[in-house]
Amino acid sequence: MELSQYTGMCSCGKCHHTDVEDILIGADVLEKVPSLVEKQKASKVFLLQDIYTQKAVQDRVTSLLTEHGIPYSEYTYKGTVVPDEYHVGKAMLHFDPSCDLIAVVGSGTLNDIGKIMASISGKPYIIIATAPSMDGFASASSSMIRDNLKVSISSVCPCVVVCDIDILKEAPLRMIQSGIGDIFAKYISICEWRISHVINGEYYCPKIADLIHTSLKSCAKHAEGLMQRDPKAIQAVTEGLVYAGIAMQLAGVSRPASGMEHYFSHIWDMRSVEFGTPHDFHGIQCAVATAACIDIYEQIKQLTPDEKVAKAYVQSFDPMRWQKDLKDFLGQSAVSMIELETKEKKYDVTKHAVRFEKIRSNWSEILQIIDQEIPSREEYRKLMQTIGLSGDYTKLGHSCLETRKTFIYSKDIRDKYIGSRLLWDLGRLEEVANSVF
């Protein structure tokens, strides 16, 4: 895919740009790392990895740098790496300031930490992927836990993305499933981006949405091959993940790649940190949450905006009760979400009235968007079965009651208009929550 067709001045009114200079996805591309380092005119490389990703590449990166006479310093995490302040701090404390390029061997958390390091140090950054597990390879943000709250932190985009299919196809199957699960989540994210454009006038770019649509179609087409680790299927998913990250940078927001389903995953992660409840790979959680979100949108399609119902619901909303319930469910991380509401004021009666009128006057268009973007319950569950996953959230260790509350509080995670916010505006949030969960 030629990225040039997506960059430059666009009919959406924005000039799209990406800082990614080189994307290498294919067989034996790991061998090109030294030439990519030289292209960046780096005199010394700081290499970040963990013991698992080091093993995945068979320590080949350090061997290649040595063979080509490229100096480097390295830090290897010895245990499980968590995307939090502690592990970012460990990496920064081991950073060699004489290095003028940061290279990470890994995916997910290591990639997020590497991007933050590059942002703090001002050094260019290369990601050498070891698993097709998530869509953040080429994005300019990092998904982190800060003060117990899962947040998206602005960082930097890598200048080079290296994805050697021979390495990626050997990744643990759960990580491969996570990758395509993160792609399947885009059914919801694009739908909600378009809905927010209609209701709130939020910026939307059809061209960027088309980039996501292309990735979705390719991944769905190759889903069956993933279970056999077919190189073509692995490449299709990897390309989809990389281009999803590119889409976020082109748009300047995370809208093209995350919506309500991501907030289910974020809440499960936050509760795991706070209370020790179960959590899984981000993409697995997103895939399962997408199944729940499809059920929610099926319910939304059966509704008709009713001003009396909406007004009565909003007027009965108790902010103090909301704060208490939120703290009970999420603990310390609820504090940041409550602070967000003091700035955002999404529960303001006047603001709600404006949104409701937009919803009512554009309801037929909203329903059309849902029909265009979201697959049927049967179609999606068939896709999930193809990749060996279930849409049953209880199999991830989450009860109906916990998942019901996760859905209700998904509206409070970020300043982003999603399905749970639409239902709050309609005055039908608990009604649909009780029906689905």
How does residue 116 score in pLDDT terms, banded at 50, 70 and 90?
Answer: very high
**What is the signed CA dihedral for 78, 79, 80, 84, rounded to 10 degrees?**
-60
Give pLDDT, residue 373. 98
Q: Which helix (H) or strand (E) holds 168?
A: helix 165-168
Q: What are phi and psi of 9, to 5 degrees?
A: -65, 135
Tokens of 78: 């010895």
Overall average pLDDT of the 280-290 stretch: 96
What phi and psi, each to the nearest 5 degrees, are found at residue 301?
-65, -20
- Angle among Cα 414, 417, 423 to the nearest 5 degrees reads 115
Is 63 in contact with 44 (CB distance < 8 Å)?
no
Residue 4: pLDDT band (50, 70, 90) is confident
Q: Are strands 101-105 and 125-128 parallel, antiparallel or unpaired?
A: parallel
Strand partners, 26: 164
What is the distance between the alpha carbons of residues 153 and 163, in angstroms, rounded to a whole number? Answer: 24
The answer to whether 169 and 229 are in contact (CB under 8 A) is yes
| Mean pLDDT computed over 101-123 | 96
Angle at 311 between CA 306 and CA 317, to 5 degrees: 130
pLDDT band at 1 (very low <50, low <70, confident <90, very high): low
User: pTM for this structure?
Assistant: 0.91
- pLDDT value at position 311? 97
Q: What's the pLDDT score for residue 192?
A: 98
Provide the token pair at 52: 């698992």
User: Contact at 8 Å (CB) between 286 and 257?
Assistant: no
**Within 13 Å, how many C-alpha atoms sit on residue 403's CB side?**
27
**Whole-number average pLDDT of the chain:** 94
For range 342-357, the mean pLDDT: 95
Is 274 a residue whose pLDDT tops 80? Answer: yes
Q: pLDDT > 70: what percent of the chain? A: 100
- pLDDT tens column, 174-191: 999 999 999 999 999 999
- Helix H segments across 301-399? 307-315, 319-330, 334-344, 349-361, 363-373, 377-386
Please provide residue 21's backbone torsions phi and psi, each rounded to the nearest 5 degrees: -95, -40
pLDDT score recorded for residue 398: 97
The string of pLDDT tens digits covering residues 181-220 is 999 999 999 999 999 999 999 999 999 999 999 989 999 9
In 3D space, the residue among 31, 30, 138, 145 whose CA is nearest the CA of residue 88 turns out to be 145
Predicted pLDDT of residue 151:
81
